[in-house]
Amino acid sequence: MRPPPPPPAALQPPPPPPIAPSIAPLVPPVAPAVPPPPPAAAIQPPPPPPAAAGKSMDLDPSQMTELWERCARLDQMDYFEVLMVERSVVPADIKKAFYRESRTYHPDRFFHLDNKELKDRVHELYKRVTEAYYVLRDDAKRRQYTANISGPERAQKLRFTESSEAETRAASKRQVEEQIGVHPKGRQFYQTGAADADAGRWASAERNLKMALTYEPANTRYKEKLAEVQKVLLEESRKQGDAFKIR
């Protein structure tokens, strides 16, 4: 006798357990790192460096013509004309003129010019402005230079050269010597007598000053110095006389 077949449900395998659906983690997505855009100022190119003497000059046609003419006349101008001052100008105004002209013609203000010849001429004008100030600010050089450009050789004396410097030194030396005396022997005796007086050797000072006057009898300085020495000698003589008086 066969056993009864199992019920249909018993023949079916148990169903698999239900699979839980996958759940993504609750983490917000991370955006890729992107650097922030630079500020607007950083995008602009840096400005060009300022010129040493200030803003460059944009010349109109008339100014360009005037500049050409001034540069062309440079070799015919004296230092007073270069600085655009009168010969009677005072030292303070010479300095002001130098500052004005050196700023006006500084080469950095003309770097944009396409004409190389004009740029070179402006540079030469700037150097001549400095040269003029160097000479005219010095009283001795100014006197010598004014005398040079006032004579018939003006065209050859417009620049203050090494020979002009030597002439100035020689003129200054002559001026000092003439203030002391014109005769070499007279100056020698006077200087020796003055040194004796400074050292208190009054008798020796009197002898040397009298010798100086033999070479230059009209020299006022010699006479005044001798009078000073003789006054001291007279006072000393009186003191000595008073010391021997019987009281």
Domain co-membership, 118 together with 218: no
The predicted pLDDT at position 100 comes to 95
Q: Are residues 65 and 160 in the same domain?
A: yes
Nearest to 102 by CA among 64, 130, 81: 130
Q: What are phi and psi of 129, to 5 degrees?
A: -60, -45
Range of the domain at 205: 181-243
Structural contact between residues 123 and 150, judged by C-beta atoms closer than 8 angstroms: no
* Residues 165 and 77 reside in one and the same domain: yes
- Residues 30-71: tens digit of each pLDDT: 555 555 554 444 334 444 344 444 455 567 788 888 888 999
What was the pLDDT predicted at 218?
A: 87
Task: Among 159, 177, 195, identify where a domain stops.
Answer: 177
Whether residues 106 and 209 share a domain: the answer is: no
pLDDT at 242 over 80: no
Cα–Cα distance for residue pair 169/58, rounded to 1 Å: 45
Considering the domain architecture, whether residues 104 and 130 belong to the same structural domain is answered as yes
Q: Is the pLDDT of residue 165 over 80?
A: no
Q: Please tell me whether residues 106 and 159 are part of one structural domain.
A: yes
Do 74 and 160 lie in one domain? The reply is: yes
Specify the higher pLDDT residue, 204 or 166: 204
Q: How far apart are CA 208 and CA 187, in angstroms?
A: 10
Distance of alpha carbon 168 from the chain centroid:
23
Is the CB of residue 126 less than 8 Å from the CB of residue 83?
Answer: no
Any domain includes 124: yes
Task: Please answer whether residues 53 and 103 qualify as being in contact, where contact means their C-beta atoms are separated by less than 8 angstroms.
Answer: yes
Look up the CATH number of the domain holding residue 135.
1.10.287.110
- Per the structure, how many domains does the chain have? 2
Q: CA geometry: angle at 190 spanning 189 and 196, to 5°?
A: 90
Q: Among residues 177, 192, 208, which one ends one of the domains? A: 177
Are 171 and 204 in the same domain? Answer: no
Question: Is residue 215 assigned to a domain?
Answer: yes
- Is residue 67 domain-shared with residue 158, that is, in the same domain? yes
Distance of alpha carbon 125 from alpha carbon 190, whole angstroms: 50
Residues 83, 66 contacting (CB under 8 angstroms)? no
Indicate the residue among 177, 203, 218 that finishes a domain: 177
In a domain, 82, yes or no: yes
* pLDDT tens digits for range 12-36: 555 655 555 554 454 455 555 555 5
Whether residue 84 lies inside any domain: the answer is: yes
Which long-range contacts (C-beta less than 8 Å, at least 24 apart) are formed by 200-207? 202/229, 202/232, 202/233, 202/236, 203/233, 205/229, 206/230, 206/233
For the record, the structure tokens of 13 come out as 């395998």
In a domain, 26, yes or no: no
In a domain, 49, yes or no: no
Model confidence at 170: pLDDT above 80: no
Say if 75 falls within a structural domain: yes
**Does residue 36 belong to any structural domain of this protein?**
no
- Give the DSSP letter string of 221-246: HHHHHHHHHHHHHHHHHHHHHHHTS-
Low-confidence winner among 120-124, 130-134, 174-178, 194-198 (lowest mean pLDDT): 174-178
Q: What is the pLDDT of residues 210-239, one digit of tens each?
A: 999 999 998 888 999 999 999 999 998 888
Same domain, yes or no: 84 and 172: yes
Q: How far apart are CA 224 and CA 240, in angstroms?
A: 25
Q: Considering only 22-36, 130-144, 171-185, 195-209, which range has the smallest mean pLDDT?
A: 22-36
**Res 76: pLDDT:** 92
Residues 198 and 136 placed together within one structural domain of the fold: no
Q: Are residues 173 and 82 in the same domain?
A: yes
